[in-house]
Amino acid sequence: MIERSHHDMGGLPAGKVERSEHDYAQWERRVDALMVLLSGIKGPKKLLTVDELRKNIEALGPEAYDKMSYYERWVTSITQSMIQRGVISTEELARKMVEVERRDG
């Protein structure tokens, strides 16, 4: 028997699905645009596949997965994919995060 991963809700009760449209926060729109650019839909180079996005989202632990919103999972997955591909290093990311904190803090 194959064991389900935490994210796999197929066929299980998961609560009510909200079917109404809603406005997206600016940061969510930016994450979506980043995915469009990195996946090569618009942009010169394909640096990320949908399969990589899904794989890294599915690799999140249950606590992290449940705590994060949809686009927070995307940001985490995109970051992991860029590190795995060698596009950025964890050191470069840490330096940039400190820079942004100082600027916005």
| Tens of pLDDT, residues 41-62 | 876 788 999 999 999 999 998 8
Residue 89 lies in a domain: yes
Any idea what the Cα angle at residue 68 is, between residues 66 and 72, rounded to 5°?
A: 150
**What's the pTM?**
0.77
Q: What are phi and psi of 47, to 5 degrees?
A: -110, 0
CATH of the domain at 33: 1.10.472.20
> Which of 9-13, 19-23, 80-84 is most confident?
80-84
Question: Could you give the number of structural domains in the chain?
Answer: 1
In which domain, by residue range, is 77 found?
A: 26-104
Are 38 and 56 in contact by the 8 Å Cβ rule? The answer is no
| Tens of pLDDT, residues 72-90 | 999 999 999 999 999 999 9
Q: Compute the radius of gyration of the chain from its Cα atoms.
A: 16
